Structure 1
Amino acid sequence: MANLLRLNDLSDLEIYGILDQANHFLKLSPDEWQQAPASELVANLFYEPSTRTRFSFETAEKRLGYQVLNFSSQTSSAKKGETLYDTVKTMEAIGCRAVVIRHPQEGYYRELLNANGIAVLNAGDGAGDHPTQGLLDLLTLQQEFLILEGLTVAIIGDLRYSRVARTDAEVLTRLGAHVLLSGPDEWKNEALPGDRVSVDEAIERADAVIMLRIQHERHESAMAMTKEEYHQRYGLTRERAARMKPESIIMHPGPINRGVEMDSDLVECERSRYFKQIRNGVAVRMASLQWTLQDGRKPQII
């Protein structure tokens, strides 16, 4: 049993192993999916709203044969002051093998390191990390380009508060891709690896363009520009998309705000891999669960 908290905890071999297993799941028919014992439980603890991550994890768990418990912070004892640690220990006590957690606190998992009897999969910690989103983005890029080394990937938008930006920039750089970063100056993040360029340069040079949602819930004040102004200055407009490289693709972790990060008709255009990313997310989370509960090792937190 292992934890999946950050991609930095995994070796390159482990990352590629999870991607290979996810690709394997995509080729299988439903009756070929590896089934867990019907009595085994996995709990989803989401302290923030989610659609894609929560439901793709639930789908992955059910496809693998786990019984699924879905936790709501609004209707649980968290409203009465119960700590995350005690909630996780409760899940362990009732027999859960793993918990999938999304939480607004960056690094929330550090307080769970002594809860050794249950595996923890990080589904997003504040503006920290989003390991399974990073894995599904890698899988999508791998399917399109085969080799990650040497790719040019642009990450555009709210770089300061996006956990996807942090996870993707770090793992892509580590695996040999060239990362371009762009967005409003007030939302830049000097800690991210990559070259800072203008939006137009990023879009024109990239093999893959990853557009980011504005993390309004993490901003201390309202956005200084209108949505229309943001779209024209930093969004993927039809005009910018027309200047992309011939074989380049568009990606987005979701949810998309149509007409803000990108023009609405680009969401389902020939270049877009948005819904492919969502499909890949189920396979990646199946592979992540399998690695965590069956094949993985317990990474060390530094």
Structure 2
Amino acid sequence: MSLRIAVAGAGGTVGRRLTAILAADHNVLALTRSPVRAARLGVRGRLVPADFGVRAGLNRALDGADALFVATFDPTDPRHDEHLASAARAAGVAHVVKLSALAVTDPDAQDLVTRWQRECEQLWQASGLTWTFLRARAFMSNCLSWSGAVRSGAPVATLYGDAPNACVDPADLAETAARALTGPGHAGRAYALTGPAAVSAREQVAHLARLLDRPVRHEELTERQALDRWCARHPRALAHALLESARRQAAGAKASVAPDVKLVTGRTPATFDAWARRHLDAFR
């Protein structure tokens, strides 16, 4: 049965992959702040302009939707999920699939981002809609931020470069989301989504070097250096949240592997090596 599915954050890393999966069989409403940018990125479906920070207009954007996928990221402004939940109720949406973070299950994780993710989950649990939470580890695609350094021959600089993280391929997240939006048995479930093995930044750099068949150096940052870099790009509170998260990773908090990608999709999640092979052109 064809469904009408709204994707909030359709231009994001997971959202644009999800629209491609869904568009083959369903009517996709791709909600995005910038339809022009979304079109340039290849987002599928009907591009619907939507500002999640403004409540007005979201009812119309969600009109007729059977289900909603939500990927928001602004821990300094909780209104986005509040507005989407209110509009989803008013529009008669039945089910929401919310992209969350696996850190919410760690009682030692009390940084700004994790607290915000917990609050978002609580909001959707109280929304009156049925819900599914996709609690993801770090995206493998985060290392695309290294592409400029790798292409130029500069070192890849990270904090705690030997700390393991069971990072996940965003394509696996998108496929899991598609199953949760369109299939039965996912209401009230919270899935822990990881890759098949924990890898460190230094190991990721080594994978890239082997695939590129040339040296790629890794450089260890101090906490002060990393914090200064994050503060240059993000609000100070968010930069400190990233530092707290890095410290937990260094303590081993992000190394465990979960079976839920295979549980939902029926296949083993992609390795970092497989992800890197598909995206190698970005580093050439």
**TM-score bracket relative to the smaller structure:** 0.3 to 0.5
TM-score normalised by the chain length of structure 2: 0.36
Larger RCO (CA within 8 A; separation ≥ 6): 1
TM-score normalised by the chain length of structure 1: 0.34
